[in-house]
Structures are given as structure tokens and as C-alpha cells.
Structure 1
């Protein structure tokens, strides 16, 4: 038998690998499926499966909390839609994942603006390093963000806003029903926009169907289930540092699966962003001991 409590850290490492699988499966699926249609099917399917789990475990949510869950679901919808559009435009998974990881540093700014929570001193030291790293990522474009990099950056901001508001909500609402509602909102919004803006194919290949199943069951349901199990037994500060591995594994996946070229400027950019995140998270870890 696996001792979950003692292996919580390794479970979270597995979660970061599953997240990288999610990047690859998403990119593969949208080769034949419209991006928003794919996200709609992915999240609605996940929501209905989790709904059956909620019923079987008798996890409920107060009706007064439903509007709050829907609002955060709309925030998540914005983040996810921008993310999948950024992937559909093109570009490399590695740089996209590192740009998305900047949401960790955007969150303190969002908290400062909406809730008057002043960022820690280490934030102001980590932010310039991340900015320089982002500059190196776009160096090959003449110090200008490409279209997909800009979309990833906007998506990271949307993710930071979602994270700040959701972190307050999860303290009051049962997690599983909350995730179910948020996924339902994301899937519904994606499908509605898709119906008016995208052309659906008459059929998809078997391999695309397999990637869609991987996205639903492995990159969404299994990933989130393991993430909550891991976070239950691992201190928040430790978990935050481990989750930084996601862009690292995604970069490796992009290089291995797609043979993505990574010039030295992009490697430096990814390295600087990683250093900024480790500095910020590491400071929190040391001072919470």
C-alpha cells in the first residue's frame, strides 16, 4: 500500500507531469478540432463526471454560494479560453508555459489592487528578474512580444485574477462542487462561443479522439484529483515550490515531442523566470517555518 501522507510531494510532482501532458494533448487535439469546441467538450465532460462523484459522496454547496462559484467560473473561463487560443496560434509550449507561470507573480499585484494586500519585499526583487526573463524570451523577435506570447501573457493575468478570488472562496465552499461548477461554466462558455465563431468538422480521427480522452480523464480529472490529494498532505509553501516544475516538464515535452528549437536566448529567459519564481516561493517557505 502507498502511504499517501509520506508521498504527498511525489504526488504533486506527478501532477506537474500530468499538466505537461495536458499541454501536449491540447495541442494535438486542436490539430483537428476547433480550439473552443475542444475546451467545451473537455470541461463539460469533466464537470458531468465530477457531478456524479459529488452525488455519490453527498458533497453539497449552499445555494447562496452558487453565484460566487459561477463568478469564479467565469474568471476561469476567461483564463482557459485565452490559453487555448494562445496555443492554437502557434509558438512553443516551453515558452508559453513559462509565461503562464508568471501568474504566480501577478497574483500579489491583483491582491494589492482588489484587497489592499501589500506584496512582500521579495516580490519586488523577484519581479524585475521575471521581466528580464520575459524580455529574453522575446529577444529573437527584436524585443517585441509575438502574438501568441501576448495572448499567453494576458491569459496569465486572467489566471492570477482567478487564483486570488478563488483562494478566498475555497475557504468557505466544498472544493469538489466548486470545481464542478467552475468546469461547467468554462465548458459552457467555450461551447457557446464556439457555436458562433468556429466551424466544426464532420468527423475526427481515432488518434484525435484518444487525445481528447487523455485530456478529459488524465490531464483534467486525474490531475485535479491528485493535486487536491497532494495539497491535503503537503504544506502550502512546499506545494507551491513543487508546482513550479510544471513549465520545466512542459518545456522538456515540447523539445522531446515536437523537437522545438530552443535558442540560448529562450533558455536564459526560462531560467530567469524559474529563478524569480524559486526566489519568491523560497522566501515564503523559509519565513513560514
Structure 2
């Protein structure tokens, strides 16, 4: 099998594991405190990854280590909103599509913080995504539920994380960067949980099973597959394959939770997906053209 195809399969596996992680998390927090669950999940995942990246970690300067940890604080905020969204929602499908809007929130944040103007493709995709989001909320009389508000906040903080991560952590080994950020997320969540959450006296074995699946499959294995996949997969293929995550999540939610998907919500999901595809496709086309121009200039 060609390395590129192997990379695509790793990315596809990562999206499946990520979507399954929504199910694992929702089932786990039925018997565990939400913040404490996230804390142990990410700290243990970081410890599992540590043997594979301790050499790059030891080679990091203090400046880069602090930058990676600071970006981990934004990731922490994102996961606080995300787990609260899950705990306040009956299903997980529409939340996954709301979270996918983070890709469209990255350009306006970059414009606001770094003075980078969004491309024309962004302005074309934005109204399509807005209409799709409104269709997702029509069941609530065009008002957002508490769960949807948490998912929107998670989407915004995720866009902030993408902006910072892409600029301040380019010189850090991806595995080491992930390990640092997962550690920060885990430690802060556990500190908060110790202060404000009440843990149950007994936890059912099935809850521990969901917790183990979250740590081993949806976090450690998922990030491992994603890292390996991005190493071999074409960047365009990887970006498009990763957009399948909300689709898998909707299918899981409809099957497992019997989440109702009336026609307006289906159209809302489709419009958000169309907006993301159109924006990503245009961005990738610009990237390909710049690469081709660079290669042509190098040959001269």
C-alpha cells in the first residue's frame, strides 16, 4: 500500500475514534463528575504518550515549553465548555456539527488578533454556515438551548486554540506538544474537580469501561493515528477526511440515543458541511497553487 493511502487510513481511523469519543464521554459522565472525568482522561492519556516523546520533551527550551503550556490553557477552556455541552444535551449529533464551525471561526479571530484578513471563500461560506446553524436551533423556536450555547463557546475557544497553536508551536515536535497540552488540561481539570466536584462513593464497572475507552481509544490511540496519518497523508486529503467526524457522530447519536433529526436539522447539518467543504476546498486550492508556484520558481 502506498504511504499516502496508509496515511489516509490513519486519518480516517482518527475521525472514527474521535466521533466514538463523544459517545464514550457522554456515557462516562453519567457516573463520573464531568470535570474530573476530563481531568483523569487527559492526564492518563498524556502519561501513555510520554514514553513515545520524552526525548523531544527533554530537548525543549523553557520558552517553548511555556508557550506549549500556555496554549494548553486555551485547550483547557475549550474542553470545559465541550464537556458541559455534552452533559446538558440529550444527544451528541448537533453538538458535533456546531463544534465543526470552529474552522469558520478561525479566520475572523485571526483578523481580530493578528490582522490577517479572511479570504473571499470565507465570506462566501459564512452565510451558508449561519443559515445551517439557525436551522439546527429551529426546534427551540430559534433560540439556543444551554447545551448549544456551551457548544458554541467550545467552538469559539477551539478556533482560538487553532490560531495560537499554528503560530506559537511550530518548532515543537507534534507528539511532545500534544503530551504537554494534554497534561495541562488534565492537571487543571483535576484541580478544579478537587475543589468543586463531589465524587460518588461507588462507581459501576460499566462506567470504568467507558472511561477506559475514552482514555485508550478516543484520546491516546486517536491522537497517535492522527499524528502518523498527518505525517504520510496529503494535507488536502487529511483536511477533508477529518471533516467526516461530525457525520460519524450524528450517525452514532441517532443509533445509540435515538436523537431526533427532523428535516430542518438534517438540512442544517448539510448546509454547515457544504460551508466547511467550500471553504476548505478553496483554501486548499490556494495552498496548492502557492506550492506549484514555489516549485516552478525553484526549478528556474
Q: What is the TM-score of this pair, normalised by structure 1?
A: 0.96
CA contact (8 A) 2:50 2:179 kept: yes
Aligned residues: 288
Assess if the C-alpha contact under 8 Å between 2:104 and 2:276 holds in 1: yes
RMSD: 1.5
Alpha carbons of 1:146 and 1:62: their partners in 2 closer, same or farther (altered >3 Å)?
Answer: same
Query: In structure 1, what is the Cα distance between the partners aligned to 2:3 and 2:43?
Result: 29
Q: Aligned partners of 2:123, 2:48: CA distance in 1, in Å?
A: 42
Partner of 2:279: 280
Question: C-alpha offsets along residues 196-218 of structure 1, whole Å, 9 cap, x if unaligned?
Answer: 22110122111111111110110
Superposed counterparts of 1:81-230, under 5 Å = 81-230=80-229
8 Å Cα contact 1:43-1:183 kept in structure 2: yes
Per-residue CA deviation, residues 138-197 of structure 1 (Å, 9 max, x unaligned), is: 001111111110110010000000011101233111222211111111011111111222
1:236 deviates by 2.3
Match of 1:24?
Answer: 23
Q: Which has the larger radius of gyration?
A: 2
Give matches, 1:263-278, under 5 Å. 263-278=262-277
Shift of 1:285: 2.4
> Residue 95 of structure 1: CA displacement?
0.3
Aligned-pair distance for 1:52? 2.5
Shift of 1:136: 0.3
> Alpha-carbon deviations, 1:205-256, whole Å to 9, x = none?
1111111111011000100011011111123232111111000000000011
**Contact 2:54–2:176, Cα closer than 8 Å, also in 1:** no
Which residue is 1:33 aligned to?
A: 32
CA distance in 2: counterparts of 1:102 and 1:12, whole angstroms: 20
Is the 2:4–2:232 contact (alpha carbons within 8 Å) kept by the matching residues of 1?
Answer: yes
Report what 2:298 is aligned to.
none
Unaligned 5+ runs, structure 1: none
2:232 is aligned to: 233
Query: What TM-score does the superposition give when structure 2 sets the normalisation length?
Result: 0.92
The offset of 1:110, in angstroms, is: 1.1
Aligned to 1:49: 48
Given that 2:76 and 2:185 are in contact with CA atoms closer than 8 Å, whether structure 1 keeps it comes out as: yes
